[in-house]
Amino acid sequence: MARVEGASVERGVNVPQSYRLVRRDARAERTVVRLRSGATFGGDEIAICAGPCGVESSQQLEEAARAVAAAGANVLRGGAYKPRTSPYSFQGLGEEGLKMLRHAGDRYGLGVVTEVMDPRDVERVVQYADMLQIGTRSMQNFPLLREAGATRTPVLLKRGFSATVQEWLLAAEYVLLGGNENVVLCERGVRSFDVVTRNMLDLAVVPLLEEMTHLPVIVDPSHALGIARLVPPIAAASIVAGAHGLIIEVHPDPANALSDGAQSLDFAQFEELMLRLAPLAALAGRRLPRRAVNDDGAAASRGYVASEPGENGSSDGAVRSSNKGVRLA
């Protein structure tokens, strides 16, 4: 009986030595993660990652990339390797999808973030992507974390379905321990007893993690909620709570998406959301990506991408000087 009574469990992280690299006071400054494309997470600029759940076709992706860039996003999201609960669901286009992402990202001046599930795919994915997404099902896939830690490509580490904050930070510790300090945490909702939304967004972790770690934190309202109409208000709330960025599903035709259509914004909804976010970012002492606020009032990327469709031009060559990056164009 004494053992039952005397036992205690950790609230927050009470074994500091177990996460010596990610803890807030392990560094003098907060970490700013910078993609090859120039997008940053953790600084004054809020990162806006947007795009379809899955890469379905070149046309779908190009349309989405153009639209989200025009609205002011600076990172393109899209799944080429899709973790699916059922083996009979659409599993993604694989390397073809990666190529499409790279092409669309270059064409519209967007960084590219995409999920990797298999440690054997990391080497291939970093050739195309600017940021490796480690999904909720993989948060404690330790071989994958180690493989990502061996690269220098930024990592977007989503919280596990029912991961405690401590477990999440220790997963990040695996990546940092491998030498890769470019980790961004992403709250995407956790399992709850109520099925009225797809998951339950735990927004309080945003200010909590601000104290506990020097790593940036972003929010994925799309997967958290599963209902497109709820995404804009919660995206706005996330910025106010201190999130360093958002990752949002946007699809040219949500009703016919191969996955996650119910939670995807269409282009008009996304553009409206961006307009809503701008003054909130300003109140928080931050700003949306620069492309969103050019002089003529139009979305900046229209001017940013000088090249015509079909030309494959990319203006971010200088940024792409990373030893990991390859030019596809």
The separation between CA 283 and the C-alpha centre of its own chain, rounded to angstroms, equals 23
Tell me the closest approach of the beta carbon of residue 224 to its own copies, in angstroms: 7
Tell me the closest approach of the beta carbon of residue 42 to its own copies, in angstroms: 17
Residue 272's alpha-carbon distances to 76, 152, 170, 236, 278, in angstroms, are 18, 35, 37, 11, 10
**Is 137 a binder of its own copies (CB under 8 A)?**
yes
Closer to its own copies at the Cβ: 35 or 176? 176
Tell me the closest approach of the beta carbon of residue 231 to its own copies, in angstroms: 9
End-to-end CA distance of the chain: 68
**Is 272 a binder of its own copies (CB under 8 A)?**
no
58's CB contacts (< 8 A; 6+ apart) are: 100, 103
Task: Enter the DSSP assignment of 162.
Answer: T
CA separation for the pair 112, 328 (Å, rounded): 13
Segment 109-128, which members bind its own copies (CB under 8 A)? 117-120
Return the structure tokens found at 88. Answer: 């009979």
Phi then psi dihedrals of residue 180, to 5 deg: -100, 110
**Segment lying near its own copies (by CB under 8 A), choices 11-19, 62-70, 95-103, 313-321:** 11-19
Tell me the closest approach of the beta carbon of residue 199 to its own copies, in angstroms: 9
**Is 237 a binder of its own copies (CB under 8 A)?**
yes
Q: How many CB atoms lie within 10 A of CB 120?
A: 11
CA separation for the pair 297, 292 (Å, rounded): 8
**Is 150 a binder of its own copies (CB under 8 A)?**
no
**Is 227 a binder of its own copies (CB under 8 A)?**
yes
Closer to its own copies at the Cβ: 37 or 114? 114
- Tell me the per-residue interface mask from 76 to 105 with its own copies, x by CB under 8 A, - otherwise: -------xxxxxx-----------------
